[in-house]
Structure 1
Amino acid sequence: MPVAPAGFHPPGRALLRASLAALLLVSTLLAGCESLSPAECATADWRQLGVQDGSRGRTDRIASYYESCAKAGIAVNAAVYRAGRNQGLQSYCQPANALNEGLAGNSYEGVCPAPMDQNFRNIHGIAWREQDARKTLARLLRQQDQMQAELRDSKTTEDRRRTLRDDLSRSDRRIEEARYAVRDASYQLDRLRSDMRQRGQY
């Protein structure tokens, strides 16, 4: 989740209160909550919050912020927030970031402007499929190891052993398919990286 803005900095005790509110906002947003408390609304730097949301590829959250702050009678500056978010999106929507986000297994929420969206989707999709193929292969190998360990266990019944042998046979086929998927996805990723280097995007 986005890191919260620090807000304005009044002198004296007001500065302490603002700092504490900012820290609370950070922890709240990092915990996955999109709403703001009255204190957070009062100290929010709407432009910086927009920049943070945009640079992390988050959707427009002004409706959620408005709902939270309206309860406390605090106005939300939607125009300033959205200007900041658009600024953040310019950073997020770069090709190199699309690659990194895909390889990290992070989803894409379709937030990039039209001129950048399709390229971001293409790059992100290739990178995401590569990491997903590797995770799938790793999961299948772990499952196979567990089945083999159970098969070797002297406490395993004969009926269970027959089931395990059948499952292992099917597992071998799935693993072979997963290895092929990894090879194909890695090939596509290598081609993508080479093309991005030639374009000066990576």
Structure 2
Amino acid sequence: MFLTGCSSMSVEQCHTAQWFSVGEIDGSSGQVSRIDRYFKACQKAGIQPNQQLYQQGYQRGLSYYCTAENIFDQALKGSGSYSVCPLEKRSQLKSYYDVAHDFYDAKKQQDDLLDNLERYRTALLDDKTSPENRDKYRKLIQELRIKQDRVEFNYYEADRKLERFKRQNRL
């Protein structure tokens, strides 16, 4: 649909919008309700969005989005949130989000540390690097090596928790 990823509409889109579908797309992508933005955008064209159809579609979209498996998958990618989900579902979804997001964060920290180590080592070996910068890179590498044990421990701990959670929840 033409609205994926955007928060307002053109005049033409306001004329042709299928409000149930617009709401369903917003809900299924985990967006907060955008009906106020659509009202503002379509006001220029003298068009009033059908709030009832939008809300019905939005609720249906949320029913697709607010599943434990989807929240888990989104958090593993470092995206998504369960905060748009109905209050009665949030407590169930929180554990899925937390364990997956903790793993994502730990993996990202490990990847960033390893990338920085590689970048600093490459700069250190570069013939064009000045002696002052070599000293700077040596210090940076030393600091990263000190952090490396903690970062790797956090990653392996998050991985262990993730695998246990997946087994317990049949994911």
Query: 1:166-193 CA deviation, whole Å, 9 max, x = no partner?
Result: 2211110222211111111111111211
Give the letter aligned to residue 101 of structure 1. Answer: Q
Deviates more, 1:170-179 or 1:52-61: 170-179
Give the letter aligned to residue 64 of structure 1. Answer: R
Q: Which runs of 5+ in 2 are unaligned?
A: none
What is aligned with 1:92?
A: 65
Contact kept in structure 2, 1:38 and 1:72, CA below 8 Å: yes
Distance in 1 (CA, whole Å) between partners of 2:161 and 2:147 is 21
What is aligned with 1:138?
A: 111
Q: Which runs of 5+ in 1 are unaligned?
A: 5-25
Query: 1:80-111 CA deviation, whole Å, 9 max, x = no partner?
Result: 10111111111111111111001111131611
Q: Larger Rg: 1 or 2? A: 1
Match of 1:169 among 137, 142, 164: 142
Contact kept in structure 2, 1:69 and 1:75, CA below 8 Å: yes
Distance in 2 (CA, whole Å) between partners of 1:148 and 1:107 is 35
SS of residue in 1 equivalent to 2:169 = helix
Match of 1:192 among 153, 165, 170: 165
Distance in 2 (CA, whole Å) between partners of 1:160 and 1:46 is 59
The CA deviation at 1:122 is: 2.1
Distance in 1 (CA, whole Å) between partners of 2:41 and 2:128 is 58
Query: 1:134-169 CA deviation, whole Å, 9 max, x = no partner?
Result: 122111111111111222223333333222222211
Q: How many percent of aligned residue pairs carry the same amino acid?
A: 30
Q: How does 1:65-144 map to 2 (within 5 A)?
A: 65-108=38-81, 110-144=83-117
What is aligned with 2:26?
A: 53
**TM-score (normalised: structure 1):** 0.79
Match of 2:12 among 20, 39, 44: 39
Contact kept in structure 1, 2:22 and 2:54, CA below 8 Å: yes
How many residues matched? 171
